[in-house]
Amino acid sequence: MTDRQQASPTPEVPRSLPARPNLEFERKRAKKLVKTSDRSTTLALAQRQIAREYGFSSWRKLLEFYRTWERHDRAGPRFGWHSGTSGDRQVQQLLREFHDRQSQQLDYPDVYGTAAAFATFVPRFFGLPDRDVFASPVTTTEAQLVVARRARFSTWEEYQADSAASRARADERQKTAAQQGPHRSGPITLESFANGATDRERIVHLLEHSPGLRTRHDPTLPYDAQHDHHHWWLMLRALIADPAEPRDTRAWMESHDLALQPHLDHALLGHPLLGTTTDFIRGLLALGADPRHVSSNGYSVIEHALALYRNGDAVDLLRPLVSAPRRFWVAAGLGDVPTMLRFVDRRGVPSAAARRDRLDMTVFDGIKFTGGRPEASDHDILWEAFFIAGLNGRLEVLDALLARGFPVDYSPVWYNLLHIAVEQRNVPVVEFLLAHGANPDLKRYPDAMTAREMAGSVRASEPQEVRAVEIGRMMGGV
C-alpha cells in the first residue's frame, strides 16, 4: 500500500512532536536504532519506525513535514495574527467545521480548507486526501496545533504566550496614552501620514512621540517581532514624497540616528493589505531598497512581489535588477509562457519539478489563503500558477493554462479567480475570464456570494470608483 493509498492513521496514540523539530536529530536516532538492534533492523525500517511513532505513514512524509516546518520557522511567527485573542474561538470554529463536514453529506468541495489544514499541519493526517481526513475523529489538541501552525507558531503554547503578551502590550499603550493626555501641538498621528501629510516637521514630531520607531533592528529576529510594519510603511511613504533627491532624503533621515535599510528591504517584500503601487516600489528602490536580498523565509524579493504586490507593473520594476528563480508558479507570475509551459504537458499534467518547488502561501504575510498542502491534486498545482498569474495580470499565462484544460471556474478555496479579480477591481482579468466562460453566478457553497453579487457590493461601496463601475457593466449592469 502506498502513502497516497493509506486510508487511515496509525492505531497507536502518536508521540508528540518536539517543540522544535530537528531533522538531523531524527536521522541520528534512526542510525542509533540500527546499531543497537539485533541486526534485523535496517535503516529504512528504523526510519519508518520513527515516522510511525509521530503518526506519519512514512519516513518520506516525516521529511516533507519537517522541511515545511523549517521553512515556516525561518519566516517567523505571524505576530498579531491572533489580534490579541486567545485563539480558543478559532479552535472551536475549526472543530465545528470539521464535525459539520463529517456529519453531513455535502455535495460541494471543502472550500474552507478544513481537511487541507489538518493534512498540512497534523502528522497522522499529513498528505491524506479530504475523504480520509474526515474518516477519522480529531482532537482539540490537534485543532490547537493547526491554529498555531497557520500563524507559524510551532506550538499552541507559543501561540498562547504571544497572544497574552500582545494583550498586555495593548493594555499598557492605553494606560500610557491616558496618563499623557493629548499632545500640546495637536494630534501627531500616523493617520496624518495616511491622509497625505509628508512634511519633515511632521516626521520629526512623529519620531519624538513614537519611540518604537527608533527600535534598533536585530537581524537575528523576525522583523515583526521588533517593528510595526504599518507605522514604517507610512513613514516610508512620507519619505518617498519628500521633494529632495532620494539620497538627500535618506541622509537627512539617518541624521536622526535611524538606519533605514532594514525597513526599506522589508517594505520591498510587499503587503497586499497596505497596497503596493508602482510609484511606491519605484520610490523604495530610489531610496536604496535592495531587490537582491533574501528574506529569512528563503524566498527572494521577486517571489514575495509576485505573491503580495498584486500589481504586475510594480513586479516588472524588479525584473531587470534580479535573476528570478526557475519555478512553475514564478514563471506564471512573470508572464513567461515558454518557461511556464516546460512545467506542464499538453494534457494539463504538472511535472515533478512543478510539484517540488510550489508556492507555500503560509509563508507570505497578508495573503488571503493558506495553502501548499502536500499530495495536492494536479488541478491544485495548476491553480497556484493560475492564481498568481491572475494577481499579476498575466493574461497570456491564463490563456495557456486554459488551453491545457484547466477549468476556468476551479478553485480549492471559497473564492475562484473571478471573485478575486472583482475584489481587486482588476478590469482586464475580469474581462478575460468572462470572455473565456467564467460563470459570474457560480456559488462555491450554498451561502456563498457569487462574483456578480460581489461586483454589486463593490460598486455600492464605491459608487464613483471607475473600475467598479466598469466591472459592474461587464456583469450585466449590477
- Orientation of helix 261-268 relative to helix 229-240, angle to 10°: 100
Contact predicate 434/425, CB 8 Å: no
pLDDT bucket at 406, cuts 50 / 70 / 90: very high
Can you tell me whether residue 180 is helix, strand or coil?
helix
Cα distance between residue 461 and residue 48, in whole Å = 56
pLDDT confidence of residue 9: 43
The tens digit of pLDDT for each residue in 251-299 reads 999 998 888 999 999 999 998 777 789 999 999 999 999 999 988 888 9
Q: What value does the mean pLDDT take over residues 298-314?
A: 94
Where is pLDDT greater, at 366 or 272?
272
pLDDT confidence of residue 317: 97
3-class secondary structure per residue, 96-145: HHHHHHHHCCCCCCCCCCHHHHHHHHCHHHCCCCHHHHCCCCCCHHHHHH
Instruction: Give the lowest-confidence range in 34-43, 192-201, 418-427.
Output: 192-201
Cα distance between residue 106 and residue 95, in whole Å = 17
pLDDT bucket at 304, cuts 50 / 70 / 90: very high
Which residues lie closer than 8 Å to 2 by C-beta, 6 or more apart?
Answer: none
pLDDT confidence of residue 191: 53
What count of Cα atoms within 13 Å lies in the side-chain half-sphere of residue 340? 25
Which residue in 152, 188, 180 sits closest to 362, CA to CA? 152
pLDDT confidence of residue 198: 56
Written as one letter, the residue type at 306 is L
Contact predicate 217/227, CB 8 Å: yes
Torsion of CA 128, 132, 138, 142, to 10 degrees: 0
Can you tell me whether residue 365 is helix, strand or coil?
coil
DSSP 333-367: HHT-HHHHHTTB-TTSPBPHHHHHT---GGGSTT-
DSSP 382-397: HHHHHHHHHHTT-HHH
Indicate the average pLDDT of the chain.
86
Inform me whether the pLDDT recorded for 197 exceeds 70: no
Total number of residues shown for the chain? 478
The tens digit of pLDDT for each residue in 93-112 reads 999 989 988 877 666 778 78
- What percent of the chain shows pLDDT beyond 90? 52
Cα distance between residue 25 and residue 22, in whole Å = 5
Cα distance between residue 427 and residue 429, in whole Å = 6
Helices (H), 36-85: 43-54, 59-75
What pTM did the predictor assign?
0.86
Inform me whether the pLDDT recorded for 373 exceeds 50: yes
Terminal Cα distance for the chain, rounded: 53
pLDDT confidence of residue 371: 62
pLDDT confidence of residue 92: 93
pLDDT confidence of residue 219: 87
For 3-21, letters b (16+ CB in 10 Å) and e give eeeeeebbeeebeebeeeb
Q: Which residue has the cell 488541478?
A: 379
What count of Cα atoms within 13 Å lies in the side-chain half-sphere of residue 182? 4
Cα distance between residue 50 and residue 28, in whole Å = 11
Instruction: Give the lowest-confidence range in 248-252, 295-299, 390-394.
Output: 295-299
The tens digit of pLDDT for each residue in 449-461 reads 999 999 999 888 8
pLDDT bucket at 10, cuts 50 / 70 / 90: very low
Inform me whether the pLDDT recorded for 151 exceeds 50: yes
DSSP 239-296: HHT-SS-HHHHHHHHHTTS---HHHHHHHHT--TTT---HHHHHHHHHHT--TT-B-T
Please name every residue paired with 352 in a beta bridge, in sequence order, or none if there are none.
Answer: none
Contact predicate 25/31, CB 8 Å: no
Contact predicate 137/98, CB 8 Å: no
Taking the alpha carbons of 191, 213, 280, 370 in that order, is the dihedral positive or negative? Answer: negative
Q: How many helices (H) and strands (E) does the chain have?
A: 25, 0
Cα distance between residue 357 and residue 204, in whole Å = 45
- Orientation of helix 417-424 relative to helix 427-435, angle to 10°: 150
